[in-house]
Amino acid sequence: MKGFAMKKIGEIGWIEKEEPFCGPMDALVKPLALSPCTSDVHTVWEGAIGDRKDMILGHEGCGVVVKVGELVKDFKIGDRVMVAAITPDWNSLEAQGGFSMHSGGMLAGWKFSNFKDGVFGEVFHVNDADGNLAHLPDEISPEEACMLSDMVPTGFHGVELADVQFGDTVLVVGIGPVGLMAVAGANLRGASRIICVGTREICKQVAKGYGATDFIGYKEGSIDEQVLKLTNGVGVDKAIIAGGGVETFEPVIKCLKPGGKIGNVNYLGSGTYINIPRIEWGVGMGHKQILGGLMPGGRLRLEKLASLIACGKLDVKPLLTHKFKGFEHVEDALLLMKDKPADLIKPVVVL
Ligand code: NDP
Ligand code: ZN
């Protein structure tokens, strides 16, 4: 079969591979729609997870089941399915402990385009199919379903990590597609003011639609000074980090109220340390928490998040700025994600 792969750090291209083996609890899926991710860009061009040779890329997509193992109970050939970017081993001790995304080791629930081939193949493999697939509801298009693989669950996980409550003032650093879903999630959770950091005009427009109330630019001065000015020196209750690099934590801690929480879902592709400012961290006693987390995967979560779209509470269509038709355009879509033109939020390829 054909797949679009990382050949080595900094090099991509089409390759031929054997169709994946389908174990007794697994499924093989033929894609209906696919989308590249900023994480693919970190992986290929920053070498952020180390080198990979001829690894098929991609972890966002949906498709049709073409094969199932003999122990799979709830899915059959021909079913239209969604799948999350993170596909844990649900029998693992880590999953039993509540951290499915780390099943088998830190971040090891992230298998696609990390420990095994990703979804940019003519067929892709899904482990633990009953736990990791979900039926694609008729109300949701394949393009929209791609946003349920990663953008919605990751942005919303940032909101969960930051523990957003009714009436909170929330800072969202980065309003690419992940940050935009964090804005939407914070809004659904009852945030009052939502202050966004980002410069791309299209992202700002879409953020307003999702509930953003204020904008600041990281290129126009420090984030903390601008946030403190907007909030009369008080700061924010919660913050979600979905963009920038290791340098974003310091200003966010500086403008977070005591007792505030930071939820980071940003993939830190480079740098060695994160600086925590001693004084603004309450000389160690400010109750300012930092939680960074890979999104959880799984069928239940996919079904619940999909129900938000199906019943009209969440609209992911504004994220889909660039649409391609045909598998061969996966390459164009990934290059768009790398170059991030001003009018791009998220490209999607319909097969
Ligand atoms: P984008 O590149 O589309 O968006 C990044 C945002 O961050 C933009 O709004 C950008 O602003 C802003 N930004 C850039 N530099 C800075 C800076 N120095 N300070 C503050 N803001 C800055 O990314 P995505 O939304 O696609 O992804 C966001 C991150 O989430 C990525 O690192 C991605 O790898 C990661 N991710 C993590 C997952 C997880 O499970 N934890 C899953 C999926 C993605 P501008 O408007 O100027 O471009
Ligand atoms: Zn992704």
Pocket test for ligand 1, best of 267, 275, 322 (most atoms within 8 A of CB): 267
Segment 100-135, tens digit of pLDDT: 999 999 999 999 999 999 999 999 999 999 999 999
Say what the pLDDT of residue 269 is: 82
Strand ranges (E), 21-152? 27-34, 55-56, 61-68, 80-83, 124-126, 133-135
In the block, residue with structure tokens 């009852």: 190
The type of residue at 320 is L
Say what the pLDDT of residue 334 is: 98
Pocket test for ligand 1, best of 39, 147, 250 (most atoms within 8 A of CB): 39
For ligand 1, say whether the CB of 110 is within 6 Å of any of its atoms: no
Q: Output the CA 1–ligand 2 centroid distance in Å.
A: 23
When pLDDT is averaged across residues 192-207 and rounded to a whole number, the result is 97
When pLDDT is averaged across residues 247-260 and rounded to a whole number, the result is 98
Paired with 291 in beta bridges are 263
Q: Output the CA 235–ligand 2 centroid distance in Å.
A: 30
Segment 139-155, tens digit of pLDDT: 999 999 999 999 999 99
Long-range contacts of 334-343, Cβ-Cβ distance < 8 Å, separation of 24 or more: 334/4, 334/12, 334/36, 334/40, 334/41, 334/57, 336/36, 337/36, 337/37, 337/38, 337/40, 337/41, 338/41, 338/44, 338/45, 340/200, 342/200, 342/201, 342/202, 343/202
In whole angstroms, what is the distance from residue 145 CA to residue 83 CA?
9
Model confidence at 87, pLDDT cuts 50, 70, 90, reads very high
Average pLDDT over the chain, rounded to an integer: 97
Segment 285-316, tens digit of pLDDT: 999 999 999 999 999 999 999 999 999 999 99
Q: Output the CA 174–ligand 1 centroid distance in Å.
A: 5
For ligand 1, say whether the CB of 198 is within 6 Å of any of its atoms: yes
Q: Output the CA 279–ligand 2 centroid distance in Å.
A: 35
Segment 60-69, tens digit of pLDDT: 999 999 999 9
Query: Model-level pTM?
Result: 0.97
Segment 156-177, tens digit of pLDDT: 999 999 999 999 999 999 999 9
Say what the pLDDT of residue 48 is: 87
For ligand 1, say whether the CB of 244 is within 6 Å of any of its atoms: yes
Model confidence at 270, pLDDT cuts 50, 70, 90, reads confident
